[in-house]
Amino acid sequence: MKHSSVALGAALLLPFAALAPGFPGLSSASALAAAEAPASDRLTANLALPFASGLTGAAKASVFAWVVNRAGARNIWIGGDGLEGRQRTGFTQDDGIEISELALSPDGTSLLFVRGGDAEFPDDSLPNTGAAPEAPGQMLYLLDVKGSGAPKPIGEGHGAAFSPDGTRVVYTHQGEISLWSAGQPSRRLAKVPGSVVDLGWSPDGTRIVFREYRSGHSLIGVLDLRQGNLRYLGMTLGHSADPVFSPDGREVAFIQFRDPPAELSASEASFWSIRVADVETGGVRTVWTAPEGEGGQYYGTRGRNLFWTAAGQLLFPWERTGWLHIWTVPAQGGAKARDLTPEANEVENFRPSPDGHALVYSANPGDLDARQIWRVAIAGGKPQRLTPQDQFAFFPVFGGDVLAATVTDAVHPAHMVRVEGMKPLEPVATGAGYVKPQVVVFTAADGVKVHGQLFRGKGAGKRPALVFVHGGPRRQMLPGYSTMYYYNNAYVRNQAFAAQGYTVLSVNYRSGTNYGRAFREAPETARDGASEYRDVLAGGQWLAAQSDVDPDRIGIWGGSWGGYLAALALARNSDLFKAGADFHGVHAMVRPVEKTLSPEAAQKAHQLQWDSSPMGAIERWHSPVLIVHGDDDKNVDFSQSLLLARELTARGVPFEELAFPNERHDFFRYADWLTSYRATGAFFDRYLEKRP
């Protein structure tokens, strides 16, 4: 058999009767467990466990809201001090319709959210992963937090923000900026040529600030609601980002940066600064400029990257030490930046406390493969760890003066907790039969130290093994559940492999995050030589050397950039990797190069891109592969898998294919995840000759 198609049969779904508001019978934090499912179908049950994301809090009330995805049915939950966590919406279908961009009114009584569209590409074509006769629209809704009524539609759009008094809403759609007030229809405030993000209000509710993306650059705009005019502030030949009003509303601070040229990608010149613009006059002053050297290029966290405190301090991330720390300068300028998190290793996200006197952040001091929430006084002092070491805590969020966070560990998927006392805001699910993966460190051929997580397979004797490679590549896998839905699911699949007798090594290869800038920006990665593959190869060789692993039964799997690396492994080293699963990977890396390159340099760059591609080594590929892809993928074009299938067919390389009509990159439907993961398990069982 040269290749085959895996049928897209109906997926087994858990009953949705338990999805009604309140989750009847699930009142305790430990009630949600997949242990009752038959061992043969633990994958189905564990993949269906509730996954929480999108935590937001009210500015002046201890109220929180978040999204829970259970077996593809997405719903909004509400909780907080004196407010028992409860499901507020009653959607019951695995329909592939996302809920995103939650925003609470300052008093916590109303909630904005978007249902439909693609949160990653909000102004792009509408997804229709549920194969409805017409693609569901992208609609902004308003929800009464304490009531029980249905959400009320406001209009097509996203990026919504409440006014400071909670009576008005500003939002955007296809470059339009609109204003909604209770009892009145929405009215358009402006139409701009670019894409609008980061909408925000001045403290007095008279102005709206936003960031507008245009071709090759971005700029900051301010709409004056009293005068009805639009002003752009401090436009440069680069990007302006993270606009924030001063506490008195008279000024707007923003980050200004540009990217280095391709041929000087390692340049330590200064490429960014922090600027403040006067809203009335448009005058701009630079309050701080990154000096030349380490940190001369801009890199931000996974969230907002500039805050202006009531005490007049600007908080921002900077890699001066080679690690992403949070620094502060006075908004009036004239002072050196001060590192608030010198012992943090890498800060992933941060925000000031409501009183502006402290900073809370998620970081990994003392353990690169961990994550906790910390607090430090902006005036200075020793940081205080707020969450326990045996859990991973992310995305600190205030509701009033109450701090909450997203938490996971080895057996509990992402859920929301009040940080003080680590009190869950919702029932907590448990992955049945899970054990904590072991953190391992091994060395690539060029001496780079590589971290990974080892899922030890159950059973005696030598067993088959798999290397798992994440996507991104700006990612880090931890020895526990991920807060990203994509990798939450991958973790479930790896645990299932281990329970079935496979030993799995998840590799945090170079160009990933949270191991410092030098690791993330390692030379010769991606199209410049695929040096990250050295880490993947070293992982496979490390597995082959383990006494309980059969070196002739090692496979590899991954998605997106991980799909690219899995395909590269099969193309370059079919001698080691006997089978692979390639989810929406990149197979031909050749793309247009910078116009600053000479014709000769451009030709060399294209050759290097080809040599860094799976296609560049396709003549050495002979191991079987499962190719999985959705044909409405906006991140990796479906043509990449069409190309690979064609080339493997011509060379007689065995492959199996699984294609999902209308599906996106991060599959929107639980049924499609389940189908693809079952197919992956069956594929490896066939080709690695799994023995009971």
The domain locations on the chain are: 439-687
In sequence order, what are the beta bridge partners of 418? 404, 423
* Residue 284 identity (one-letter amino acid): V
> Residues 363, 348: contact at Cβ < 8 Å?
yes
Taking residue 482's Cβ as centre, other Cβ atoms within 10 Å add up to 22
Which secondary structure element, helix H or strand E, spans residue 677, and what is its range? helix 670-687
Q: Give the Cα separation of 314 and 328 in Å (integer).
A: 5
- Give CA angle at 579 (548, 471), nearest 5°: 95
Q: Give the Cα separation of 592 and 531 in Å (integer).
A: 21
- Model pTM? 0.94
pLDDT of residue 514: 97
Q: Which residue in the block uniquely carries the two structure tokens 């931000």?
A: 300
Q: Give the Cα separation of 307 and 315 in Å (integer).
A: 5
Tokens (6 digits) for 289: 């400029």
Q: Inter-axis angle of helices 670-687 and 485-499, to 10 degrees?
A: 40
| DSSP helix/strand/coil, 51 | strand
Q: Following DSSP, what letter does each residue of 167-189 receive, concatenated?
A: SEEEEEETTEEEEEETTS--EEE
Pick from 105, 283, 303, 122: nearest CA to 201: 105
pLDDT of residue 183: 85
Strand order in the sheet with 139-144: 99-104, 110-115, 139-144, 152-156
| DSSP helix/strand/coil, 529 | coil
> Residues 577, 617: contact at Cβ < 8 Å?
no
The pLDDT tens digits of the residues spanning 387-397 come to: 999 999 999 99
pLDDT of residue 84: 85
The pLDDT tens digits of the residues spanning 526-551 come to: 999 999 999 999 999 999 999 999 99
| DSSP helix/strand/coil, 494 | helix
Asked if pLDDT for residue 309 goes beyond 90, the answer is yes
pLDDT of residue 639: 98
What are phi and psi for residue 349, nearest 5 degrees?
-160, 160
Mean pLDDT, residues 54-72 taken together = 98
Asked if pLDDT for residue 620 goes beyond 50, the answer is yes
pLDDT of residue 418: 97
Which secondary structure element, helix H or strand E, spans residue 563, and what is its range? helix 561-572
Q: Give the Cα separation of 326 and 318 in Å (integer).
A: 6
The pLDDT tens digits of the residues spanning 581-615 come to: 999 999 999 988 888 888 888 899 899 999 999 99
pLDDT of residue 115: 98
Strands 549-559 and 503-508: unpaired
Q: Inter-axis angle of helices 561-572 and 533-544, to 10 degrees?
A: 60
pLDDT of residue 611: 95
Fold assignment, 439-687: Rossmann fold (3.40.50)
Asked if pLDDT for residue 226 goes beyond 70, the answer is yes
Locate all alpha helices (DSSP H) within 477-560, ordered by sequence: 485-499, 517-520, 533-544
